[in-house]
Amino acid sequence: MSRKKAVKGKSNSSPTACSPKSTGKGKTSKALSCGAESPSNGVVRPSRPSLSNSSEFYDMAFKVMLVGDSGVGKTCLLVRFKDGAFLAGSFISTVGIDFRNKVLNIDGVKVKLQIWDTAGQERFRSVTHAYYRDAHALLLLYDVTNKTSFDNIQAWLTEIHEYTQQDVVLMLLGNKADATHERVVKREEGEKLAKDFGVPFMETSAKSGLNVELAFTAVAKELKHRSMKAPNEPKFKLQDYVNKEMKTSGCCSS
């Protein structure tokens, strides 16, 4: 298995820094114009040597997108996962799209997640659509203190199914679970919605760090398993893994 060098994401990335290529026939290819290619096995690999000074190498890489209404905490979730910090203070909406990279050790395999943070506002939706097509996984967020963001999940799911690959990994996250007194969406409501649509679910908190690492690790495990699965190997069950990990760590209360 070849070893690749991880490229660090930049917080000031713009939509033009890495966008789907045009085929010239009105169609969009699944290769990224920033030099990443999506071969038939769905694993993103750099098409040119890394210029990063990072000493961190990886075996495979996948594109993960954070989607959901504006203000649900997508950027905060990403920063918590990547840097272990919480963005406190005034809320600033993401403009367009941004990304960061992080390499995880999944069962001895170095898996790089290229995580794309998208703007939730309607005016940026056409930009987001273009990035759906070659995404390997999506984390769909709502805010447990904002009923509207929860009510809009069905519309997001419809959009996701329209624009993404058929086998995309999808997980529903109820964010801001630390805000006990402001909560308006019960955990049971999130569980029911996820069950109705057949997607894994958990609650998270970018502020406290609740389940943030677990969410990304679970997705990375699923993607790695799909890429390396032996013919007779049992299917990786994402929700079962999440439930087991939450029960073990005692992090599933809200």
- d(Cα 201, Cα 243) in Å, to the nearest integer? 9
**H-type alpha helices, 71-117:** 74-83
Nearest partner of 224 among 72, 124, 112, judged by Cα: 112
16 has pLDDT over 70:
no
Higher pLDDT, 252 or 112: 112
Q: Is residue 94 predicted with pLDDT exceeding 80?
A: no
Sorting pLDDT into bands at 50, 70 and 90, what band is 89? low
Q: Which is more confident, 151 or 43? A: 151
**3-state SS assignment for residue 96:** coil
Burial of residue 44, with CB atoms counted within 10 A of its CB: 0-12 exposed, 13-18 middle, 19 or more buried: buried
Question: How confident is the model over 86-97, as a mean pLDDT?
Answer: 65
Single pTM value for the model = 0.76
Asked if 39 and 91 touch (Cβ cutoff 8 Å), the reply is: no
Q: What is the pLDDT of residues 19-39, one digit of tens each?
A: 444 444 444 433 333 333 444
From the number of C-beta atoms within 10 Å of its C-beta (0-12, 13-18, 19+), residue 19 rates as middle
Q: How many Cβ atoms are within 10 Å of 144's Cβ, its own excluded? A: 29
Q: Which residue has the tokens 């709502």?
A: 142
Q: What is the pLDDT of residues 162-175, one digit of tens each?
A: 999 999 999 999 99
Confidence category of residue 119, pLDDT binned at 50, 70, 90: confident
pLDDT at 4: 57
Smallest Cα–Cα separation from 132: which of 116, 155, 145, 147? 116
Instruction: Determine what percent of the chain is predicted with pLDDT higher than 90.
Output: 61
In this structure, are strands 45-46 and 36-37 parallel, antiparallel, or unpaired? antiparallel
Six-digit token pair at 110? 């170095």
Q: DSSP 3-state helix, strand, coil percentages of the chain (rounded to 5)?
A: 30, 25, 45
pLDDT digits (tens, 9 = 90+) for 52-62: 434 579 999 99
Q: Which two tokens stand for residue 109?
A: 């395999």
pLDDT reported for residue 187? 98
